[in-house]
Amino acid sequence: MTRAFLHLAHGELSVAWSYHPFSPLLALLLLGLAWGPKSLWKWAQHSTLAHRSALATLPLLLGWWTWAKLLPLAGPHL
């Protein structure tokens, strides 16, 4: 993720994407928190869209992590 953020800072979106596909989304979220934490926090607390997004994102992140990190460790037996 650090390398992806460094490439994002240099404007190299495709390279950042190759390091970590979720880096642009996380960078936008962090920028939103840095510039307007109170308004973003209030929106997230009262928004059903934010709650649904969080519930949808967690399984996607866990699935991606399992596919990218754990399956290669299993080897060719799968």
Instruction: Quickly state the pLDDT bin for 36 (edges 50, 70, 90).
Output: low
The answer to whether 78 and 71 are in contact (CB under 8 A) is yes
Q: Residue 39: pLDDT band by 50, 70, 90 thresholds?
A: low
- The residue extents of the domains of the chain are 1-35, 37-73
Residue 11 has pLDDT above 80, yes or no: yes
Cα separation, 15 vs 21, whole angstroms: 10
Alpha-carbon span 2 to 31, nearest angstrom = 15
Question: For a pLDDT cut of 90, what percent of the chain falls above it?
Answer: 10
Answer yes or no: are the C-beta atoms of 12 and 23 closer than 8 Å. Answer: no
When computed from its CA atoms, the radius of gyration of the chain, rounded to whole angstroms, is 16
Q: How much is the pLDDT for 15?
A: 92
- CA–CA distances in Å: residue 51 to residues 21, 31, 44: 22, 20, 7
